[in-house]
Structure formats: structure tokens, C-alpha cells
């Protein structure tokens, strides 16, 4: 299997963790079909991101989050299919589909009286390491007409660790397009505080596991404070993920944190619902 997909394929997909290889084969077959079928089974949801410096924590954009409604298998959560999509290389067409949809929507919101709204799109490291990723992003900017500064690409550190210099080079080329870069899920996996200084990033998204415990656990509280302090020192913005209640919000409000995201403000929702609540 690994051979068939090329020994240089970069992926974290772990076959050992798969409970049933039949389900795995079904998933694979259906994902290939769905991808070949113009990605119509994939739907982009939008979760509001709020400006914590505004009076009512008002919406200032959204994160695009993919959903798969498989005709054969029903609803499949991204955490259940993205690792396999990465392993099979299918994350490239799926990710491009999400990027295109999301950029198009953001451009529309910008034209509809919200010129400041921004869209965040997750970019798998598999996508990031494609030779033509910069051209692909440039062509989405051109075809959608989105203002590049309103597009933020979210990347995780996980694989960057292998080849920091290559990753830095790719990210700096992306930034030359005028697009912003966010470091997602910060504080988990392969995080290094040095990445904050070394990587050409605009935003750090602190993983929601820290916010989850911020009200009970001194370590989480101190960690978020420290990262916020470091980030503000070098002019990088902070977005906290997973804000679910007002106690967490109060604690975060006292820190140097400008952006918030979580069920307290809004869950990921279909485009119609997002536009009804936050655009029209
Ligand atoms: P992520 O990029 O860190 O996205 C945030 C996840 O946290 C989303 O899960 C979101 O629904 C969830 N979340 C947001 N606020 C809260 C909260 O207050 N409480 C709780 N419990 N959860 C919250 P989701 O949509 O299931 O996505 C999971 C992961 O799948 C994402 O994590 C991202 O890594 C990946 N993903 C989703 N869409 C895409 C995509 O289009 N491309 C790629 N490459 N990855 C994607
Ligand atoms: Mg994300
Ligand atoms: Mg995240
Ligand atoms: Mg996450």
C-alpha cells in the first residue's frame, strides 16, 4: 500500500488505528468517487471568528470547515476522513475545492457591506508541499477576486518540523501574494516556541484544549498568557479556539488576545445560516 502511493508521500495516516479494513476500503472507494464527482458531496461550513476588542465581540470573519455527506456512508466528520484523504493524495482536490468555495463567499461578503470580513481556510501540509501550491493559491485569488489580505491560510506545525527551511520558504512565498498565514492548533503536537519567531506567520491559533481548562487549571491559564505575551511582543495576533462559556471568555478578555472562536459565539454552520446571521 505504501509503495503504491509512493514512498515520498507525506502523511500521518496510520493504518494500525483503523478498526475495520472493510470500512477503510469503503471510505477509500467512496472518497475517490466523491472527489472525481466534482466534490459535490463535500460541503463547506462556516464558523464565525469574532473581534474580542469590539464591544459586542462582533463577527469579523469565519473559518471554513469541510463536511462530507457521503451518499453511500452518510455524514463523515473531517477528523475521520482527512487523514485518509491526505494518505491517498485526495486532500489536494478536496482542499482546492474548499479554498475556492470559501474565497468566493468571502469576496461576496466583502462586496455585501462587510469589506473587513476575513476567511480562514485550513491547508494540509500535504497541500503545502505540492510544487505548484503558490500558483494554485494565486489562481484562486485571481478567479475569485478576493482581496488577498482577507484570506488566511491555517497550517499546523506537525510536518514542518522535518524541513523547517523549506516550510519557511513556501510560507514566505505565500505571504508575498499578500495572503496571511496562521499557525493552527498551537501548543499541541510538534509545537516549538521557536516557531513563533522563525516562521513567517501573522496569527497563532491556540489549541482549544488550553481554553477548555483555562478556568480550572493554572498551567493552561499561564500558557495562554505567555503565548499571548510573546506574540504581542513580535506583532503576531492571537486567536483562541474553543471558547464555550462566559467564564473562559472573561479570562481571555484580560489577555492580549484579539480574536476568538468557539461555540459561545457560534458553531460551524451551513453557508445559508452563516449569511442569514452574519452577512445580511
Ligand atoms: P481545526 O482547524 O482546528 O478546526 C477547529 C475545530 O474545532 C472544528 O472541528 C470546529 O468545529 C471545532 N470547534 C470550534 N469551536 C469549538 C468549541 O467551542 N468546542 C468544541 N468542542 N469544538 C469546537 P471540525 O470542523 O470537526 O474540524 C476538525 C479538524 O479537521 C480541523 O481542526 C482541521 O484540522 C480539519 N479540517 C476541517 N476542514 C478542513 C479542510 O477543509 N481542510 C483541511 N486540510 N483540514 C480541515
Ligand atoms: Mg483550523
Ligand atoms: Mg485549530
Ligand atoms: Mg484542531
Mutation pick for ligand 1 pocket among 31, 81, 82, 158 (CB with most ligand atoms within 8 Å): 82
- Does the pLDDT value for residue 159 go beyond 90? no
Say how far apart CA 230 and CA 225 lie, in whole Å.
9
Confidence band, pLDDT 50/70/90 cuts, at residue 19:
low
Better pLDDT: 39 or 257: 257
* Pocket of ligand 1, beta carbon within 6 A: 47, 65-66, 77-79, 82, 91, 95, 98, 122, 124, 154, 184-185, 208, 241-244, 261-263, 268
pLDDT digits (tens, 9 = 90+) for 98-124: 999 999 999 999 999 999 999 999 999
What is the pLDDT, as a whole number, of residue 5? 44
Confidence band, pLDDT 50/70/90 cuts, at residue 191:
confident
Q: Which ranges in the chain belong to alpha helices (H)?
A: 21-36, 78-88, 91-111, 125-128, 133-144, 164-176, 193-198, 208-212, 218-233, 246-253, 271-278
CA of 3 to the centre of ligand 1 (A): 30
| Cβ neighbourhood burial of 73 (10 Å; 0-12, 13-18, 19+) | middle
% of the chain at pLDDT higher than 70: 91
The strand pairing partners of 182, in sequence order, are 154, 203
In angstroms, the Cα distances linking 55 to 29, 58, 115, 191, 239 are 49, 7, 19, 33, 17
CA of 65 to the centre of ligand 1 (A): 6
What is the pLDDT, as a whole number, of residue 264? 98
% of the chain at pLDDT higher than 90: 78
Predicted TM-score (pTM) of this structure? 0.93
Q: Which atom of ligand 1 is nearest to the CA of 66?
A: 38
The three-class DSSP label of residue 74 is strand
- Write out the H or E segment, with its range, that includes residue 64: strand 59-70
Mutation pick for ligand 1 pocket among 241, 261, 266 (CB with most ligand atoms within 8 Å): 241
Q: Give the ipTM of the model, two decimals please.
A: 0.98
- Does the pLDDT value for residue 241 go beyond 80? yes
Q: Which residue has a Cα nearest atom 22 of ligand 1? A: 242
Amino acid at each position: 500500500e505504501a509503495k503504491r502511493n509512493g514512498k515520498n508521500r507525506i502523511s500521518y495516516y496510520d493504518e494500525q488505528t483503523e478498526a475495520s479494513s472493510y470500512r477503510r476500503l469503503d471510505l477509500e472507494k467512496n472518497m475517490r468517487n466523491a472527489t472525481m464527482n466534482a466534490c459535490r458531496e463535500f460541503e463547506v461550513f462556516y464558523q464565525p471568528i469574532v473581534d474580542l476588542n469590539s464591544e459586542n465581540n462582533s463577527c469579523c470573519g469565519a473559518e471554513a470547515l469541510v463536511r462530507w455527506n457521503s451518499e453511500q456512508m452518510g455524514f463523515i466528520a473531517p477528523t475521520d476522513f482527512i487523514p485518509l484523504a491526505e494518505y491517498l493524495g485526495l486532500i489536494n482536490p478536496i482542499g482546492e475545492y474548499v479554498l475556492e468555495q470559501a474565497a468566493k463567499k468571502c469576496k461576496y461578503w466583502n462586496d455585501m457591506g462587510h469589506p473587513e470580513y476575513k476567511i480562514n481556510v485550513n491547508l494540509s501540509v500535504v497541500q503545502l508541499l505540492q510544487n505548484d501550491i503558490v500558483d494554485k493559491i494565486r489562481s484562486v485569488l485571481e478567479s475569485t477576486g478576493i482581496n488577498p489580505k482577507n484570506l488566511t491560510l491555517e497550517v499546523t506545525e506537525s510536518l514542518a518540523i522535518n524541513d523547517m527551511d523549506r516550510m519557511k520558504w513556501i510560507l514566505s512565498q505565500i505571504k508575498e501574494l499578500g495572503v496571511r498565514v496562521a499557525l493552527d492548533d498551537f501548543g499541541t503536537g510538534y509545537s516549538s516556541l521557536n516557531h513563533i519567531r522563525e516562521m513567517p506567520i501573522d496569527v497563532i491559533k491556540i489549541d482549544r484544549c488550553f481554553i477548555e481548562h483555562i478556568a480550572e487549571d493554572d498551567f493552561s491559564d499561564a500558557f495562554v498568557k505567555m503565548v499571548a505575551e510573546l506574540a504581542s511582543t513580535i506583532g503576531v495576533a492571537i486567536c483562541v479556539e474553543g471558547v464555550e462559556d462566559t467564564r473562559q471568555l472573561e479570562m481571555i478578555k484580560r489577555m492580549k488576545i484579539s480574536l476568538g472562536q468557539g461555540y459561545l459565539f457560534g458553531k460551524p454552520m451551513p453557508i445559508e445560516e452563516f449569511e442569514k446571521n452574519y452577512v445580511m
